[in-house]
Chain A
Amino acid sequence: MKRIGVYICHCGTNIAGAVDCSKVSRYASGLPGVVVARDYVYTCSDPGQEMIKQDIAGHKLDRVVIGACSPRMHEPTFRNTLAEAGLSPFHLQMANLREHVSWVTHDREEATAKAMDLIRAAVARVTLHTDLASLEVPITKRALVVGGGIAGIQAALDIANAGYHVYLVEREPSIGGHMAQLDKTFPTLDCSACILTPKMVDVSRHPNIDLLAYSEVVEVAGYVGNFRVRVRHKPRYVDSSKCTGCGDCVEACVMKKRIPSEFEAGMGGRSAVYIPFPQAVPLKAVVDGTRCLFLTRGKCTRACEEACSRGAIRFDDSERDSELEVGAVVLATGYDLFDARTKPQYGYGILKNVIDGLQFERLACASGPTDGKIVLANGCEPEAIAFLHCIGSRDVNSNRYCSRVCCMYSMKQAHLARDKTRARVYEFYIDIRAAGKGYEEFYERVQEEGVHFIRGKAAEVSERDGKLVVRAEDTTLGRPVEIAVDMVVLGAGLTPRSDAAEVAQTFHVTRSQDGFFAEAHPKLRPVETNTRGIFLAGACQGPKDIPESVAQATAAAGKVTALFAQDFLRTEAMIAQVNEAMCSGCLWCKPVCPFGAIEAVTITERSGRRTVEREVARVNPSLCQGCGACTAACRTGAMSLLGYTDRQVLAEVDAICLGTPS
């Protein structure tokens, strides 16, 4: 028989005002196993806790029931009390006599009866409590950051500055992401490169950062504190240790300027061997294996090789893998621009002078293909430009969500257009969403600069008499408008990366309905994922501008360093456990687990005189969060949740129903 102590708290008059506490404690003393029952004015106070500790020693208690406030309030307090008295902290059960009884029941008799029921249930349950232990797992204090856009760069720098080693994996030949493609940034109009390139250089020089460019993560195993990651390094065909980034090979390449440049959003050309942009980090050339004539057809003068005085070109380079061990991961893989080709009514890809937002950024940029001159395809300056908002966004047929940055970037671009040309500028918008610090003021400024705002989503762009005609319904005037312009800039929205599903699978993270990576809780855990140890930063989690991306990156870095500040990680104690003898190996539990904590393992066991091999479910204690969803899915009853076993819960059910007046 267990030796149980029961303590009924008055909580001043909070409980005692509605519940006859001494009657409840007298009732408790008669319950099976109870050797001492008391009521006390403030159980959580020092003397209250002292009283319990003395009873544990004096009455040799091995279980404790406390009828007081909500366990969500003081369970940790009383677990501590038990631990200090040398008892397992899990040998405690609380009954909620305040929030669930005294504060919601007017009738004293009913409240007292309800309190007795709850105490009876707690006593029945606590008898079945067992010792639970959490494991201590060591933490590998190195981080992996995936994606080298502004978010990844910021997260890497913050973690590295805190003194931890960081691997920054970037799939492109250079870091920088989309921000490197931008000209000026709203709302302050500082030059994007001026604020970004110093950070890129910091990354390349940081003693704690290993930059793995032109590489991708192909496999992730393990769990928080102990991930094993396989990274695939794509062949550069250039020996990075020899390459100085002089660009002689680029100039010499026979394919010079003949390949559309990704960095220039197709507005300029590059060679088959190239440096993505002048401030690239690492500043090394790379041979595009899919476009190089020698690599694809075996036929070329290999002019690049000849031009390289350092002998850095190496056509015998090949793909290779490496293994990393890290304790935490920050995903910062960013976004794709919405593909405006999927909305043919706007003429993108069909009509010459219809371009998207990123293309406009390249046109406006002093280091871009036109040296910053905003010109039409024929090289002339446009006399009128239209900016169309919400392309692909806020549309049930493409992206339901608001892309958050397009209003602002369209207005920024309208400003740049007014600044650099004499063109008339129109903005076609549904609403202006300018909710950021200084954003509304920027909106006002652009209005004052003489940009014409037309409230109405553009419906169509067509060509007439050598002009582009934008048709829309002006919803303020309530009538259709048609405006002839020379250039149309599509304010295309942000979408999840085209490979977001595969990346999510590789890292075992979930995605929201819109396809972006899902945070663990939309309000309270915005940078965590449901996989412990994997965090999110930047536009891979949803549309974000630069300030928001940087803020989230710093937050993710904070989570990583907080994790690394510990030497060991405690696993949950109340986790699922499989009784392997009972498990039939159906694995119905596996898909139910939100954390991927359940694996199939093969066990060897004796069956009669033979040794047989059999598949059963096993729970990884480092991943299990203790929800118990798997237990309800298990048909054989092999899966059980420690601390919430069927026996324990049913004991409560039985005790509650028993003896109720009817």
Chain B
Amino acid sequence: MPWNPLIVAFCCNWCSYAGADLAGTSRLAYPATVRIIRVPCSGRVNPQYIVRAFQRGADAVLVAGCHPGDCHYSTGNYFTRRRFLLARTFLEYLGVEPERFQVRWISGSEGPKFQETIKEITQAVRALGPNRKLRDES
């Protein structure tokens, strides 16, 4: 079987999860590489989750939330933005290619953007090959 990358996506309930739902209702096909974990707000995503996903063998991690200024909880995603700038630098420092960790703002009306995002990340990660860096080989 050809290698298929695995993308673990944390999607906020109000915007990006809804955006993924809309991609579905609009029947916008995208690669079956992504597994979505629903979280209330992108601000809930602990950097620890990202590291854990890479350790357990994810090839890419996506954190998706509402557009800044549109957060259901008004300011949650501002913290997300700051926190993940740091997380990205940290991951790079550990040797994880920046393409493997993506933060995107996808609103509930952006089904096509969700589809595009998954296609894009899948392509980028396919080019990089499997993640070996943080993976624990247990």
Q: Which residues of A contact B (CB under 8 A)?
A: 70-72, 96, 98-101, 103-107, 110-111, 113-114, 117-118, 121, 510, 518, 520-521, 530, 574, 592, 594-595, 625-629, 631-633, 641, 644, 646, 649-650, 652-654, 656-658, 660-662
Contacts and interface: CB of A to CB of B under 8 A. Distances in A.
Given A107-B32, A646-B46, A70 B24 contact: yes
A118 B73 contact: no
Nearest to B43: A629
B37 to A, nearest CB: 5
Contacts of B23: 99, 104
A557 B41 CA distance: 30
B130 A629 contact: no
A110 B32 contact: yes
Contacts of B105: none
Nearest to A93: B38
B73 A627 contact: yes
Closest 5 CB pairs of A and B: A99-B24, A628-B44, A657-B56, A629-B43, A627-B73
A72 B12 CA distance: 12
21 contacts: A96-B36, A100-B24, A103-B25, A103-B27, A104-B32, A105-B29, A106-B29, A114-B32, A592-B43, A592-B79, A594-B75, A594-B76, A628-B39, A629-B76, A632-B45, A632-B46, A632-B79, A644-B39, A653-B37, A653-B49, A657-B53
Contact of A628 (B30, B36, B43, B83): B43
Given A631-B46, A653-B8, A658-B56, 4 more contacts: A113-B32, A627-B43, A629-B75, A632-B83
Interface in B1-40: 1, 3-4, 6, 8, 13, 17-18, 20-21, 23-25, 27-30, 32, 35-40
A628 B56 contact: no
B125 to A, nearest CB: 12
Nearest to B36: A100
A70 B23 CA distance: 12
Contacts of B41: 627-629
Contacts of A660: 6, 57
B32 A105 contact: yes
A72 B21 contact: yes
B25 A99 contact: yes
Interface in B78-104: 79, 83
Contacts of B29: 104-106
Q: Which of A101, A121, A660 has the most CB of B within 10 A?
A: A660
B107 to A, nearest CB: 11
Contacts of A628: 39-41, 43-44
**Size bracket of the B interface:** 35 or more
Contacts of B58: 653, 656-657
A379 B18 CA distance: 66
Contacts of B49: 646, 649-650, 653
A213 B36 CA distance: 55
Contacts of A113: 32
A587 to B, nearest CB: 15
A273 B30 CA distance: 75
A96 B36 CA distance: 9
Contact of B8 (A520, A626, A656): A656
A594 B45 CA distance: 16
A564 B30 CA distance: 47
Contact of B24 (A103, A106, A658): A103
B52 interface: yes
Contacts of B3: 662
Contact of B35 (A107, A656, A661): A656
Contacts of B43: 592, 627-629, 632
B76 A627 contact: yes
B40 A574 contact: yes
B99 to A, nearest CB: 18
A625 B115 CA distance: 30
Contacts of A653: 8, 37, 49, 52-53, 56, 58
Contacts of B44: 627-629, 631-632, 641, 644
